[in-house]
Structure 1
């Protein structure tokens, strides 16, 4: 689920916390890094749980309508297409999914049901809901297409949900777009009998990705003094204190990849940190970082310390 870029962002955040003495021990910092990366899987479960609870809330509302003092024929015989949606029912009935949500204490929507209520109102007022409810009798594909559009148009871009997660767990803000993309991909791949593994993908594509994050963090922290000297040597008009903290960390992470990760091409490393800088640092940071990394690559090539194996990696 985690991409290498997202792993790099988690490492950047952890090193920043370590440098600011928010976490003052290497082992504790490593545990925090792994924890923050695994948090993404929890958010994935929370968002699937949201779909389950949204359907359950709609079902309760239909039952309440039947008990009104003045009921209509529509109240007594409501359109149940939404609560009968085959994708939503599959999620509701998936024991492994619901057990994992309970075990990890991630069923937030039972307590914070006002967000479900707000979403339900938005769903009812939406054009896609009206078209779905009044269309031809849906098959599995139509049910799935509706849930995908529901997620993409109403749930994922919801500002109130974003604010909720900002208050709930700050680390989830960076994870939110990636998780939403992953859930849309999961929904697209769902069949009538999805396996548990498809509903609950691992946090990492493989163990190498987990090791990459931890190793990158260690290399930057343990070689901090050397990397700082290399950087200052390439910025004659700048002293160390004038370089933005995040820029300094990203350059050091680039150095670590140049010197200690032989299978990652130089261009990939530079491009990754330029993109991260555009999102997390100052407007001119990517230009500054690009210039420093280019100089460092040339130095490491000249002194034969650039550790790359295979064609095209240098």
Structure 2
């Protein structure tokens, strides 16, 4: 959708350029995923450094000499920092922005220390793995994900990261919910694509939509004669074009899956009434295709 929006309705000019933009954007989303994990890892390192420095004070208090090391010893954060596959990625400064923008580590660390989540967690000196996991999930959900300064930082850092943030944050939460004591190897560095077919689908959808935008637009126009064209948002038009492309060019994708997917995207990116509008238009198109025998879906349950 982002790439089609950038193409500005061009059917064939520079299609390779838009394909490269799409693939670069997808790779950039993985960079954001690594950046968020790196942020947690750096915050944990800062907690260790802070604890060690307080213990070495010349006039350290008894509490500073024997501090509560529960945060430092958090088993999930220890797994994160000791994961070799993740660290191999983060050793490259290009994939870990916090080497240069370390002040954001301080912002998040301070926010954690001042939170009730941290105070409740640190009210005891020991915890189970499950408690450690829940603490990490809570600070990510309540402190890191909604942080306005991080939000502004990501917006300035890369043009596509702001739209990628909800997807990436959801993926990270799912990852932490699945983490186990035995999680190692590439657990924290999952593949961006399930397989090459998964990657190629996005490219094929982009190409086939761009190459047929004129035809798809004509179909939409026939179903929206009673609508003022200027009142139909560009996003709604693009989503309907992509849906029609899946109806016509991707026989293995069930109709219901296509419709549900684009309605969800509309709810996230378009107007409050867009999902109902899109649903109505797509429903008319499906009924017409069915009556004329144009649906070439294969496999059971695809209608």
- TM-score normalised by structure 2 residue count: 0.90
Which is further off, 189-198 or 237-246?
Answer: 237-246
Cα pair distance change 1:18/1:90, threshold 3 Å: same
- CA distance, structure 2, for counterparts of residue 24 and residue 117 of structure 1: 47
Aligned in 2, Cα 1:104/1:28: closer, same or farther, shift over 3 Å? farther
Q: Does the alignment pair 1:289 with 2:278? A: yes
One of 84, 87, 90 as aligned partner of 1:98: 87
1:72 is aligned to 2:61? yes
Count of aligned pairs: 302
Residue-by-residue CA offset, 1:257-301 (whole Å, 9 max, x unaligned): 111111222222222222222222223322332222122112222
Matching of residue 162 in structure 1 with residue 162 in structure 2? no
1:83 to 64, 72, 83: 72
- Is the CA contact (8 Å cut-off) linking 2:31 and 2:95 kept in structure 1? yes
Asked if structure 2 preserves the Cα contact closer than 8 Å seen for 1:54 and 1:120, the reply is yes
TM-aligned CA deviation for residue 20 of structure 1: 6.3
Alignment of 1:185-204 (within 5 A): 185-204=174-193
Distance 1:84 1:283 in 2: 46
1:18: which partner in 2?
A: 7
Give the superposition deviation at 1:218: 1.0
How far is 1:240 from its partner?
5.2
Q: Which runs of 5+ in 1 are unaligned?
A: 1-11
**Equivalents in 2 of 1:41, 1:196: separation in Å?**
18
**Cα distance in 2 for residues equivalent to 1:132 and 1:233:** 60
Q: Structure 1 stretch 260-269 or stretch 212-221: which is displaced more? A: 260-269
Cα gap change, 1:196 to 1:41, in 2 (>3 Å): farther
Displaced runs of 4 or more, over 6 A: none
Tell me whether 1:138 sits opposite 2:132 in the alignment: no
Is 2:4–2:238's contact at 8 Å kept on the other side of the alignment?
Answer: yes
**Alignment CA distance shift 1:188-1:243 (3 Å):** closer
Instruction: Evaluate the alpha carbon distance shift between residue 284 and residue 189 of structure 1 in structure 2; reply closer, same or farther with a 3 A threshold.
Output: closer
Query: Could you report, residue by residue, the CA deviation over 1:56-103 in whole angstroms, capped at 9, with x for unpaired residues?
Result: 112222233345564322223322221122221222122221111233
TM-score of the two chains, using structure 1 as the length reference: 0.87
Q: Which residue of 1 aligns with 2:226?
A: 237
- Distance, in Å, in 1 between the alignment partners of 2:130 and 2:285 is 53
Once the two structures are superposed, the pairs formed by residues 20-59 of structure 1 within 5 Å of their partners are: 25-59=14-48
Alpha-carbon distance between aligned partners in 1 of 2:184 and 2:240, rounded to the nearest angstrom: 42
Distance in 2 between residues matched to 1:284 and 1:130, nearest whole Å: 43
Runs (5+) with no aligned partner, structure 2:
none
Aligned to 1:151: 140
Check whether the contact 1:18–1:24 (CA below 8 A) recurs between aligned residues: no
* SS of 2:298 mapped into structure 1: coil
